[in-house]
Amino acid sequence: MSVNLKPLEQQTIVITGATSGNGLATAREAARKGASLVLAARNAEALEEIAGDLRAASARVATCTADVACDEDVERIAQTAIEAFGGFDTWVNDAAAAMYGRMDEVTMEDHRRVFDVNYFGVLKGSLVAADHLRKKGGAIINMGSVLSDRAMILQGAYSATKHAVKAATDALRMELQRDGAPISVTLIKPAAMHTPYPEHARNYMDEPARLPPILYDPRLVADAILFAAEHPKRQLYVGGNGFLISLGGRFAKRASDAAMKAFGRRLQTDEHQPAPPATKDNLYEPREDGSIDGHQDYYVRRTSLFLEAQKRPALTLLTATAGLGLFLLPRWGRSS
């Protein structure tokens, strides 16, 4: 069965992890484009403040205070969408927990908590969404990472969850296709984004955590998510630098390992830019929220040509071919 996705202005979109970073960027852009929204996160105060701002700009917004690690909370998110808007068309699994530390330093309790949020929360959200969309159709969009392809030293637990999310997303896609369900299932793979990720992370290191360069604007992730809400896509990378990291993990494993061992810690710490105290460590409890961008001051790339190429591959190929022709034309003329 073919998958036909509605224009954004006709959609109701569920977004978990909606109070900061990529989720908040997606919520604001979806509202601007006319979608109805169901926003879910643990921080009730931040959730209502964000919803109030969006409603003041004429957006249609419902909220659900929820921890995606709890199955009953995820089911409440779906019920909120049904009660507020009669259902939903796209479900975005964005909520995630981050952690920095050696695999043997992190407690088993913390390892399990990261999996409960990042993997089981995404899995439960995907299954709830698939059940609702099985007949009417729609999109399930899961937040992976370039670390779905290449593990990062000192982010082993997070990397493991993103590998698991990729496998679950691929398996669910195949099963829904086999059933003929009109559901698009997309995995988004961002590079390092300039979000409050390192500020919210539980940190076992002695120094303040940071994300390794190059950092990209979280609004690029919002662009990828909302493109996938209208156009069936298997996966979308956000940031060409991240794609190169993925390629390294696939085709240059030993060299990538060596680079991680040599530079991984240095590129993930910054003693001069500690996290604001109110944001630190939201692994078990919500902390200060409401910001798309991280507070650390680094260069941020605002565009991703690689993302644009994935969104419009035919146009990209045509443009590249035409550009090559224009480059070669004078040389052909001189040689004739």
Side-chain half-sphere exposure of 203, counting CA atoms within 13 A: 23
* Other residues' Cβ atoms within 10 Å of the Cβ of residue 162: 28
What's the mean pLDDT in 262-285?
95
Q: Is the pLDDT of residue 173 over 90?
A: yes
pTM equals 0.93
Please state whether beta strands 90-93 and 202-203 pair in parallel, antiparallel, or not at all (unpaired). Answer: unpaired
- Look up 216 and say whether it is catalytic: no
Q: Is the pLDDT of residue 177 over 90?
A: yes
* Other residues' Cβ atoms within 10 Å of the Cβ of residue 108: 7
Q: Which helix (H) or strand (E) holds 335?
A: helix 313-335
For domain 8-303, give its CATH number from 4.10.1240.10, 3.40.50.2300, 3.40.50.720, 3.30.565.10. 3.40.50.720
Handedness of CA 24, 26, 32, 38 (dihedral sign): negative
Across all residues in the chain, what is the average pLDDT? Answer: 94
| DSSP per-residue codes, 212-254 | PSPEE-HHHHHHHHHHHHHS--SEEEE-HHHHHHHHHHHH-HH
Q: Collapsing DSSP states into helix, strand and coil, what is residue 61?
A: strand
Q: Is the pLDDT of residue 186 over 80?
A: yes
pLDDT of residue 210: 97
What's the mean pLDDT in 39-48?
98
Is residue 283 a contact partner of residue 97, using CB atoms and an 8 Å limit? Answer: yes
188-221 residue pLDDT tens = 999 999 999 999 999 999 999 999 999 999 999 9
Q: Which of 100, 158, 197, 216 is catalytic?
A: 158
Quick one: pLDDT band at residue 39, thresholds 50, 70, 90? very high
What's the mean pLDDT in 57-84?
98
pLDDT of residue 323: 46
